Chains A and B, each alone.
Chain A
Amino acid sequence: MYRIGIDVGGTNTDAIILDERHQLIHAVKSPTSLDIKTGIESSLRQLLQEAKIDKAQITHAMLGTTQCTNAIVERKKLAKVGVIRLGYPATASVPPYTAWPKDMVDILSGSYSLVQGGYEYDGQLLGEVDEEEIKALLDKWRNHVESIAVIGVFSSIKNDQELLVRDLIQEEYGEAFPVSCSSLIGSVGLIERENATILNAALCKVIAATTSGFIHALEEEGIKSAQVYLCQNDGTLMSIDYAKQFPILTIACGPTNSIRGASYLAQIKDTMVLDVGGTTSDIGVLQDGFPRESSVAVEVGDIRTNFRMPDIISVGLGGGSIVRVSDSGAITVGPDSVGYRIGEEALVFGGNTLTTTDIAVRLGLAEVGDKSLVSHLEEDFALAVQAQIAAIIEQAIDKMKTSSEDIQLVLVGGGSIIIPDQIRGVARMIKTENGNVANAIGASIAQISGQYEQIYIYSREPRESSLKDAEEKAVKQAVLAGAVSETIELVEVEETPLAYHPENATRLRVKVVGKMK
């Protein structure tokens, strides 16, 4: 039994094979191709040729991909979206797409309608859905939209209206028509949730192409019976069907995979992780084996959203960062980098640009390239650059800390050779074997999760039963995503009391995780 994990990064596409005991059998790294697809195909081919395993024994294949992020940032391959907001006459003061970049609105066609519906904060009806109104709208939109986003006011309390509208759409446009319901995507905060839902709806074509491309690539290589999964940004996996419903959840799965992989390689569940790439480094925090989530609104392609994202800090420091000395003698490191041209431009490879990798080689921290090409660098100078590198990392680590105590740091990533052994604020630094493919390992060891969020009124439904209700609903989500129900356990509970509410209303969010089928 083998598992294949592929992680498509900005610079490299990594592919690995694990056996049933999660031991690394083989790993390959190749440049990410412009179309992504051929990079996946070639790394998969190389991996299988070199590993020489029995392909029939491959049971699972996981893909961590940046395609959805790229599609949003580059405004490419996005679907024309129709936005239905349930809540009129409320909320009309801020229509959908307010404060969006105009080019993005044009690409999505900007179709929206505010219709009756929605709930109050306490679950009372704000407005009833008018089926005739929806049907008239769908008649108008027929053949003009390729995907629909449905957003109900306070649907995080009750989402039956959103689901009803989804059913109506699929009655009119067919079962396969993609519909994104906001209650399944974001949390309280209508605009941010609506934005996330619109982006999710816009990604339906990208995710369809990505998943079919991946399955096709596997089949080409003779892998026909493996279960196929996509990585989510919370460190868990989703089935292809689930991914088609929630493509937005693939965004930022790369850094998540790295820190999950680091946790696995170091066998530590609570730690900070530093993943050093060629141009940037990501720092994340693992809590009980999963990445800490960001609690603030995050922008995706200049659009403010509130779907869950990992809490990651990125700094402009990597193995290819350019080292400069100003006229006054001050040393700067990065944020610019020679990137994938490191093999030609760094001094140790015969190039003309002084990079962090050259400093690491000069100080004997790494053996790459020709070290005689950096022997002319003064040791004091190299140490001063190293101090600068340490200072950048120290500051970034401090931002992620939750107490003043020194932390433990797991170091991964291809550029990690540049990091000195001593960093202030770090009590213990752990370097792992195979840390350079931590992301692909993270992709292939992931489990399946489910999440549920709702506002509960504890004076009416006591805390215990509210928790139980939320957990049951989260388990349902996990099973839908492909988890074995007997293995599912509760991993996170977040409670936020609502201001001004007279009856102790609390927003409750729970997360469960289970093994894959």
Chain B
Amino acid sequence: MRYLDKTAIENISIGAAFLGTGGGGDPYIGKLMAISAIEQNGPVRLYSVDEIADEDFFIPTAMMGAPSVSSEKFPNGSEFVKVFQKLSRYLGKDNIAGTYPMEAGGVNSMIPIVVAAQLGLPLVDCDGMGRAFPELQMVTFNLDGVPATPMAITDEKGNIGIFETIDNKWTERLARAVTVEMGASALVSLYPTTGAQMKTSGVHGIVTLSEQIGEIIASKNRDAKDKLEELLQLVSGYELFQGKIVDVIRETKGGFNLGRMNLEGIEGHKGGNMDVHFQNENLVAEKDGRVVAMTPDLICLVDFETLSPITTESLKYGKRVRVIGLPAHEKWRTAKGIETAGPKYFGYDYEYVPLEKLVNKAVTDHV
């Protein structure tokens, strides 16, 4: 067990924006909520997965909806506890042992810190994605057959709903429709999980990893190259490209922010070209017409100099970036994982090949 203070929250929010792979919303508002919550209630306890009991129950809380809405109409602050307690009462359990982030990337890394601070509960160092994904069934617990419901959903006005669905894709479908009605931003508590389930089906150590990523990125007066090397070593990642954004094509479809950006090589990649396709998150990267990384592996865009993560909503013509590829958690690389969040699910006609293989293949071809 250790305590998360303001500095830890700052760093986690940076790491979460990195693991958000362009989506998951800018954790800025979430960070302010978390800081304001610990200023009122004191620091939050963080437990590792080994420190929790198998038979205890844990409930995550998350924000659902459009990041640009939550940057304008953010919560009252009482919804987190309300939706958490609604679900715990519905489950008939008044002794929930703690909370954890459903999604490590983006704004949802911060909401459980608020809940933990307000309820005095511990936070568990574990999530259900190891990154950010846009849909509720794209969760490692789902891959292992853990139901998303019963689920509670609420808005800042006080409306509350409970869902029990026939499967987790229906949870996504119904929750999304309600979220739009609630003003395109809602709070959900779902995937009630036992300690044992977290041990077998969660992505462990993710809060700490986010914090370490944030620490490296935030460290001052250091050469970008040294920082990058340390970062890549920490996450077993690869620098896929150094480029300048020369074109961004966007459209909104079915409630998602879709698009493609084109990068022109700079520095060590002069003369090269990269296309990155995104649907909220960055999903496929093609270098000189050939795929070099694809979902569920992570494709992270960072500022060329500072390594600050860049969200797809803030992509800017002319911005100089580094494209970093990270292998996804092993659960995503199973057949069920690829079926749930692989390239075909998002409409890209590629067979999934792990990042390491694609990178090594490119190197061999080159030689």
- CB within 8 Å of B: which residues of A? 87-95, 98-99, 118, 120-122, 124, 126, 153-154, 156, 188-191, 295-296, 304, 398-404, 496-502, 504-507
CA distance A398 to B304 in the complex (A): 12
Interchain CB contact under 8 A, A189 and B72:
yes
Closest residue of B by beta carbon distance from A401: B318
Closest residue of A by beta carbon distance from B79: A93
Task: Kindly identify, within residues 9 to 63 of chain B, every residue whose CB is under 8 Å from any CB belonging to chain A.
Answer: 28-29, 32-33, 35-37
- Say if the beta carbon of B280 comes within 8 Å of chain A: yes
Q: List chain A residues, Cβ under 8 A from B37.
A: 93
Select which of A99, A124, A500 is within 8 A of B256 by beta carbon: A500
Give A396 Cβ to nearest chain B Cβ, in Å: 11
**Would you call the interface of chain A mostly helix, strand, loop, or mixed?**
loop
Kindly specify which of B200-208, B293-301, B309-317 makes contact with the partner chain.
Answer: B309-317
Interchain CB contact under 8 A, A400 and B36:
no
Interchain CB contact under 8 A, B264 and A500:
no
Interchain CB contact under 8 A, A154 and B252:
no
Give A395 Cβ to nearest chain B Cβ, in Å: 10
Q: List chain B residues, Cβ under 8 A from A91.
A: 73-76, 156
- Say if the beta carbon of B334 comes within 8 Å of chain A: no
Closest residue of A by beta carbon distance from B183: A120
CA distance A190 to B65 in the complex (A): 16
- Say if the beta carbon of B320 comes within 8 Å of chain A: yes
Q: Given that A121-B184, A295-B316, A498-B66 are known contacts, is A93 also in contact with B74, CB under 8 Å in the complex? A: yes
Closest residue of B by beta carbon distance from A91: B74
Q: Given that A188-B72, A402-B246, A502-B254 are known contacts, is A92 also in contact with B32, CB under 8 Å in the complex? A: no
16 more A-B residue pairs beyond the given contacts A190-B72, A500-B256, with a C-beta to C-beta distance below 8 A: A89-B78, A92-B76, A92-B77, A94-B29, A94-B33, A94-B74, A99-B32, A120-B184, A121-B66, A153-B73, A402-B244, A498-B69, A499-B252, A499-B256, A500-B66, A501-B184
Give B292 Cβ to nearest chain A Cβ, in Å: 21
Contacts A/B (CB < 8 Å), 23 sampled: A90-B76, A92-B75, A93-B33, A98-B32, A98-B35, A98-B36, A120-B183, A120-B184, A188-B71, A188-B72, A191-B29, A295-B316, A399-B320, A404-B270, A497-B252, A499-B252, A499-B255, A499-B257, A500-B65, A500-B69, A500-B255, A500-B256, A502-B255
CA distance A505 to B77 in the complex (A): 27
Q: Given that A126-B183, A399-B320, A502-B255 are known contacts, is A90 also in contact with B314, CB under 8 Å in the complex? A: no
- Say if the beta carbon of B266 comes within 8 Å of chain A: yes
Give B282 Cβ to nearest chain A Cβ, in Å: 14
Interchain CB contact under 8 A, A188 and B68:
yes
CA distance A505 to B183 in the complex (A): 13
Q: List chain B residues, Cβ under 8 A from A505.
A: 252
Give B210 Cβ to nearest chain A Cβ, in Å: 20
- Say if the beta carbon of B2 comes within 8 Å of chain A: no
Q: Given that A90-B73, A93-B76 are known contacts, is A499 also in contact with B36, CB under 8 Å in the complex? A: no
User: Which 3 A-B residue pairings sit nearest by Cβ, starting from the closest?
Assistant: A93-B77, A500-B66, A499-B257
CA distance A179 to B169 in the complex (A): 49
Give A333 Cβ to nearest chain B Cβ, in Å: 19
Q: List chain A residues, Cβ under 8 A from B77.
A: 92-93
- Say if the beta carbon of B67 comes within 8 Å of chain A: yes
Interchain CB contact under 8 A, A190 and B33:
no
Closest residue of B by beta carbon distance from A156: B72
Interchain CB contact under 8 A, B35 and A499:
no
Q: List chain A residues, Cβ under 8 A from B66.
A: 121, 498-501
Q: List chain B residues, Cβ under 8 A from A189.
A: 71-72
Interchain CB contact under 8 A, B73 and A93:
no
Q: List chain A residues, Cβ under 8 A from B73.
A: 87, 90-91, 118, 120-121, 126, 153-154, 190
Q: Given that A90-B75, A126-B183, A153-B73 are known contacts, is A95 also in contact with B256, CB under 8 Å in the complex? A: no
- Say if the beta carbon of B180 comes within 8 Å of chain A: yes
Q: List chain B residues, Cβ under 8 A from A399.
A: 320
- Say if the beta carbon of B251 comes within 8 Å of chain A: yes
- Say if the beta carbon of B250 comes within 8 Å of chain A: yes
Q: List chain B residues, Cβ under 8 A from A497.
A: 250-252, 257
Interchain CB contact under 8 A, A95 and B316:
no
Q: List chain B residues, Cβ under 8 A from A507.
A: 68
Q: List chain A residues, Cβ under 8 A from B220.
A: none
Closest residue of A by beta carbon distance from B252: A497
Closest residue of B by beta carbon distance from A192: B71
Closest residue of A by beta carbon distance from B280: A499
CA distance A373 to B337 in the complex (A): 74
CA distance A154 to B185 in the complex (A): 13
Q: List chain A residues, Cβ under 8 A from B158.
A: 89
Q: List chain A residues, Cβ under 8 A from B366.
A: none
CA distance A94 to B179 in the complex (A): 21
Q: List chain A residues, Cβ under 8 A from B35.
A: 98-99
Give B340 Cβ to nearest chain A Cβ, in Å: 20
CA distance A295 to B76 in the complex (A): 28
- Interface residues as binary, B209-224 with A (CB distance below 8 Å gives 1, 0 otherwise): 0000000000000000
Q: List chain B residues, Cβ under 8 A from A499.
A: 66-68, 252, 255-257, 280, 313
CA distance A20 to B73 in the complex (A): 50
CA distance A326 to B157 in the complex (A): 65
Give B350 Cβ to nearest chain A Cβ, in Å: 24
Select which of B67, B180, B244, B250 is within 8 A of A401 by beta carbon: B244
- Say if the beta carbon of B152 comes within 8 Å of chain A: no
Interchain CB contact under 8 A, B32 and A404:
no
Q: List chain A residues, Cβ under 8 A from B183.
A: 120-121, 124, 126
Select which of B68, B179, B246, B250 is within 8 A of A403 by beta carbon: B246
Q: List chain B residues, Cβ under 8 A from A296.
A: 314, 316
Q: List chain B residues, Cβ under 8 A from A500.
A: 65-67, 69, 179-180, 184, 255-257
Q: List chain A residues, Cβ under 8 A from B317.
A: 402
Q: List chain B residues, Cβ under 8 A from A124.
A: 183
Interchain CB contact under 8 A, A498 and B318:
no
CA distance A93 to B187 in the complex (A): 13
Of listed B32, B37, B75, B252, residue having the most chain A CB within 10 A: B252
CA distance A498 to B156 in the complex (A): 21
- Say if the beta carbon of B102 comes within 8 Å of chain A: no
CA distance A501 to B313 in the complex (A): 14
CA distance A191 to B72 in the complex (A): 8
Interchain CB contact under 8 A, B318 and A400:
yes
- Interface residues as binary, B111-148 with A (CB distance below 8 Å gives 1, 0 otherwise): 00010000000000000000000000000000000000
